[in-house]
Amino acid sequence: MPAWPENRVHIGSHAKRVDAPAKVTGAAKYTSDVQPEGWLYGMILRSKWAKAKITRINLDQARKIRGVKAAILRDDTGERTVRYYGEELAAVAGVSKQACLDALRAIEVEATELPFVVNVEDALEESAARVWEDAPNASKPRVREQGEVDKAFSDCAAVVEGFFSTPVQIHHPLETHGNTISWTEEGVTCWASTQGISSVREGLAGHLQLPQSKVRVFSEFMGSGFGSKFGLGVEGGLAARLSKEAQAPVKLMLTRFDESLAVGNRPSTCQKIKLGASADGKLLAFELENYGTAGIGGGGATEGGSGGVEIPAPYIYRVPNTRAKQFSIAVDAGPACAFRAPSHPPASFGMESIMDELAVKLDMDPLELRLKNDPFEIRQKEYRLGAERFGWKEKYRKPGSSPGPIKTGVGCAAAQWWGGGRGTQAEAQVNPDGSVEVRCGTQDLGTGTKTVIAVVAADIFGLNPEQIHVRIGDTQFPPSGASGGSTTAASVSPAIYDACTKALQELQKQTGVADARGENWKVACRKLGVNPLVVHGQWQEGLSSSGVGGVQFAEVAVDTDTGFVKVKKITLVQDGGLIVSKLTAESQASSGVIMGIGYALYEERVMDRQTGVMLNPNFETYKLAGLSDAPEIEIVFLDMPERGVIGIGEPVTIPTAAAIANAVANALGVRVSRLPITPQRVLAALGKDKLSS
């Protein structure tokens, strides 16, 4: 059974991100930067109606615009029922952005507007317009039960109830979705901003009806995705067809407007939770009713009614008697997709909020209540360690007891995730001059995959990470899975370990050098002669596993005169098996926390029920946390090398909003149970949003 070396020099070190120099100089070419000879600009025409029957789309005038080289319909017939504001209708390619803008305005669309519904509450009404004609807006609820929940509640010493809701959250990777696609008779080359080059290749081949061997996809540098960039996408298919029609490469990157509307989001939730416990705080009964929207992707038309709306419940805590009833509602808005730890942040928010309510009812320290009920030993230790680092005992006071008007409070919450991996292949090439290239068809969305590869290879060969030439993001390289579910490090590291270990063994065998590592490297390599050594490897059992916890503590200061919430400190304790790269792990941790702060305080999609449009398809009113909004973030990783590599990109964002919400409730003595916790909602919770106060 393979095992990670005991003496790790670069693995677990603070080795620098290997592609940082390329990124800080502008040398890194992302999909949006790639400019093949003769490239054209591509752009999409989107529906300005939330719901309409499109009967005719006329591209004639668009084709006449100077500089336009191609214009295509999304659907051959030009007929379509659009179901959300922003749905794709047609696309154009031209020699400049301006030519495309002019072409879009010249496209004539005939449409009959239809009744629409964009809000969940409206969609629940009997009289609501149906998103999908032959199905109700609400899916059939799925009920999961265990034990005897009704009886159990009557046996509880303390029972609390609450409503908790979370918004639709938009991924907003800074590089929008998009592709630069070059269609030729010989085949298709695609630079994709993607988390899964193989998924793009598969999509392209299918869409264009080509053999997969004629499709090559690159993604060397990629401006993040957070779960939204898998598969070809409508925009990828349009770019490919434009390229074919124009007989030239087409770069079609979405605008921020497009990105806000059409390429995925985190479903909303509306959770009614009831929780009961014994007098000494042992959880006995849990009941949840949850519904939310995944846009057009949810509701009665979907199998099993999920569309991603369902959340794990009860989250984290094992309760002997439970009932969870969940369903999704379709609305005329962009469909949901996987978003960093899908369903966990809202699950955490609801569960951890009601836990704190229970703690108040039982007059217990919320941390004690958790320690009493958390089944995962690793997390128990994370809580204890985190509490000590954070200063929980010193900072915790009964809710609302902070003197005003700026009230401080603290809260905590937990995460669980899997993050295992498998199935990756890799190749190591050792050259006679001692240079090394490691190739793997994986992706790096900023997560640090390249650095992980470099440090693993460096430790195996006894070299420095800078000496490893890492090449990823090419479907011609040995394949890896898509980068999602926090599986990349756990999938890729073992494959690199295997390829490099085998390469080292082969090098030593071929050259007769007993130990070719480190100082002996160059001498040994020279003995290879003319040809390099190329060795294939693949993921091996024993170097990675699955299942992590994670806890976060939050301290906030709330200005009760203005409702402004300032997060002062977050303490995070996270396990991830063997921490391969300390530097990139730290980056992931603060990344998760800051995204969690956005979810807690600023972000929500706002739809207008009168017109059906999205009101905030931009960064002005869909607000991302800025530098001044970031708190002090204290990060502690628990290294468990015996468990092998486990991914941490998602667990680090799960409990942040829950911890902050608990801290706000602790500060104020009243709870804001709806995210984001804006000044409006804080002041409303304090009863101050009226003239007479």
Partner 1 sequence: MSEFMSNPGPSISRRSFLKTFGTGAAVAATAQVEAVARQLEKANAEKVLGPDAVPITLLVNGKPVKLQVEPRVTLLEALRDHSGFTGAKEVCDRAACGACTVLLDGKAVYSCAMLAVEAQGQAITTVEGLAQGDKLSPVQQAFVDDDALMCGYCTPGFVMSVTALLKANPHPTADEVERACSGNLCRCGAHPRIVQAALRAAGVSTTSKTEVISYASLA
Partner 2 sequence: MKPFQYATATSPAGARQLMGDNGTYLAGGNDLLALMKEYILNPKILVNIKSLPGLNKIQPGGKVWMIGAAVTVAELEDHPGLKKTFPALPQAAAEIASKQIRNVATVGGNLSQHSRCWYFRQRDVLCLKKGGDTCYARHGENKYHSLFAGNTCISPVVSNLSVALTALDATAVVQRGDKQIRMTMPELYAKAWDNPTAHNSLEPGDLILRVEIPAQDRRSAYVQMSEKSAFDWALVSCAAAGKVQGGRISQAKVVLGAVSPVPYQSKAANDFLEGKALDTDTTAKAADLVLEKAHAHSQNGYKIPIVRALIHRTLMQLKA
How far apart (Å, rounded) are the C-alpha atoms in residues 163 and 151?
22
For partner 1, the closer of residues 17 and 439 by Cβ is: 17
Please identify, using beta-carbon distances, which residue of 23 and 509 lies nearer to partner 1: 23
- Enumerate the β-bridge partners of residue 468: 436
Is residue 46 involved in binding partner 1 (CB under 8 A)?
no
C-alpha closest to that of 295 among 343, 330, 260: 330
Ordered strands of the 187-192 beta sheet: 68-73, 88-94, 40-46, 250-253, 178-184, 187-192, 215-218
Q: Which of 173, 345, 411, 485 binds partner 1 (CB under 8 A)?
A: 173
Residues 511-540 that bind partner 1 (CB under 8 A): none
- Count other Cβ atoms within 10 Å, centred on residue 187: 15
Q: Per rule CB under 8 A, is residue 381 in the interface with partner 1?
A: yes
**Binding of partner 1 by 689 (CB under 8 A):** no
Partner residues linked to 439 by β-bridges: 427, 471
Place of tokens 């030993």: 377
Segment contacting partner 1 by CB under 8 A, of 46-54, 407-415, 505-513, 615-623: 615-623
Here the tokens at position 593 are: 């926390």
Output 590 or 611, the one with its CB closest to partner 1: 590
Q: In the complex, what is the shortest distance from the CB of residue 408 to partner 2, in angstroms, rounded to a whole number?
A: 17
Reference 72, options 40, 49, 37, 34; nearest CA is: 40
Minimum Å distance from CB 664 to partner 2?
14
Q: Is 686 in the site for partner 1 (CB under 8 A)?
A: no
DSSP letters for 538-574: E--TTSB---B--EEEEEEEEETTT--EEEEEEEEEE
Minimum distance from residue 305 beta carbon to partner 1 (Å): 31
Amino acid residing at 560: T
Collapse the DSSP code of 602 into the 3-class scheme (helix H, G, I; strand E, B; otherwise coil) and give the result: coil
Interface with partner 1 (CB under 8 A), residue from 533, 637, 678, 681: 637
Based on CB atoms, which residue is closest to partner 1, 515 or 632?
632
Among 157, 638, 670, 686, binds partner 1 (CB under 8 A): 638
Determine which residue in the list 602, 643, 653, 668 makes contact with partner 2, applying CB under 8 A: 602
CA distance 582 to 452: 10
Using the contact rule CB under 8 A, the part of the chain among 84-92, 264-272, 518-526, 616-624 near partner 1 is: 616-624
Contact indicator for 662, 353 with CB cutoff of 8 Å: yes
What residue spans of 106-216 are helical by DSSP H? 120-124, 149-154, 197-208
Tokens representing 482 are 């898509």
Query: Between 149 and 594, whose beta carbon lies closer to partner 1?
Result: 594
Shortest spacing between CB 357 and partner 2, in angstroms: 24
109's contact among partner 2, partner 1, none, with CB below 5 to 8 A by partner kind, is none
Choose which of 98, 154, 213, 247 interacts with partner 1 (CB under 8 A).
Answer: 98
User: Which of 627, 690, 692, 693 forms a contact with partner 1 (CB under 8 A)?
Assistant: 627
Q: Is 127 in the site for partner 1 (CB under 8 A)?
A: no
3-state secondary structure of 240: helix
How many residues bind partner 1 (CB under 8 A)? The answer is: 78
Residue 268 CB, nearest approach to partner 2 (Å): 16
Strands 250-253 and 40-46 turn out to be parallel
- What's CA 455's distance to the chain center, in Å? 25
The gap from C-alpha 223 to its chain's centroid, in whole angstroms, comes to 13
Closer by beta carbon to partner 2, 77 or else 98: 98
Q: Closer to partner 2 at the Cβ: 135 or 684?
A: 684
* Cα–Cα nearest to 646, from 557, 555, 580, 573: 580
| 608 is a site residue for partner 1 (CB under 8 A) | no
Closest CA to 258 of 320, 186, 178: 178
CA distance 572 to 345: 15
Angle between helices 656-668 and 582-601 (to 10 degrees): 50
Query: Is it true that the peptide bond before 617 is cis, omega within 30 degrees of 0?
Result: no
CA dihedral for 96, 102, 105, 106, sign (positive or negative): negative
| 693: contact with partner 2 by CB under 8 A | yes
Rule CB under 8 A: say whether 256 interacts with partner 2: no
Binding residue for partner 1, selected from 506, 582, 611, 669, defined by CB under 8 A:
582
690 binds partner 2, rule: CB under 8 A? yes
Sign, CA dihedral 678-680-683-687, equals negative
Segment contacting partner 1 by CB under 8 A, of 117-125, 273-281, 301-309, 444-452:
444-452
> CB under 8 A: which stretch of 13-21, 72-80, 239-247, 281-289 binds partner 1?
13-21
Q: Which strand (E) or helix (H) includes residue 494?
A: helix 488-511
Distance CA 18, CA 127 (A): 58
Of 47, 271, 442, 447, the one binding partner 1 (CB under 8 A) is 447
Is 175 or 332 the residue whose CB approaches partner 1 more closely? Answer: 175
Applying CB under 8 A, among 35, 98, 112, 184 the residue interacting with partner 2 is 98
Per-residue contact flags (x/-) with partner 1 for residues 245 to 274, judged by CB under 8 A: --------x-xx------------------
- Cα distances from 95 to residues 176, 258, 309, in angstroms, run 21, 21, 42
608 binds, options partner 1, partner 2, none, Cβ within 5 to 8 A by partner type? partner 2
With binding defined as CB under 8 A, does residue 97 bind partner 1?
Answer: yes
| Residue 236, H or E segment | helix 233-246
Alpha helices in 265-423 (DSSP H): 344-362, 366-373, 377-390, 392-395
Q: What does 238 bind: partner 2, partner 1, none (CB cut-off 5 to 8 Å by kind)?
A: none
E-only strand ranges, 254-294: 269-277, 283-293
Q: Indicate the DSSP class of residue 135.
A: S
Site residues for partner 1, 222-241, by CB under 8 A, read 222-224, 226
Residue 609 in the binding site for partner 2 (CB under 8 A): yes
The helix (H) or strand (E) run that includes residue 489 is: helix 488-511
Question: Which of the ranges 79-87, 167-175, 304-312, 482-490 carries the binding residues for partner 1, by CB under 8 A?
Answer: 167-175
Residues between 59 and 88 with contacts to partner 2, criterion CB under 8 A = 85
Q: Does 341 bind partner 1 (CB under 8 A)?
A: no
Closest to 275 measured CA to CA, from 353, 173, 172: 353
Give the residue with the Cβ less far from partner 2, 625 or 646. 625
Please report, as residue ranges, which positions from 151 to 210 form the binding site for partner 2 (by CB under 8 A).
none
Show the binding pattern over residues 557-596: x = contacts partner 2 (CB under 8 A), - = does not: --x-xxxx-x------------------------------
Q: Which of residues 353-382 bind partner 2 (CB under 8 A)?
A: none
Nearest to 129 by CA among 382, 329, 321, 368: 329
- Residue 14 or 688: which CB sits closer to partner 1? 14
In the list 206, 304, 626, 632, the residue contacting partner 2 (rule: CB under 8 A) is: 626
User: Among residues 437 and 629, whose Cβ is nearest to partner 2?
Assistant: 629
Positions that interact with partner 2 (CB under 8 A): 48, 85, 98, 101-102, 105, 559, 561-564, 566, 601-602, 606, 608-611, 613, 615-616, 620-621, 623, 625-629, 678-680, 683-684, 688-691, 693
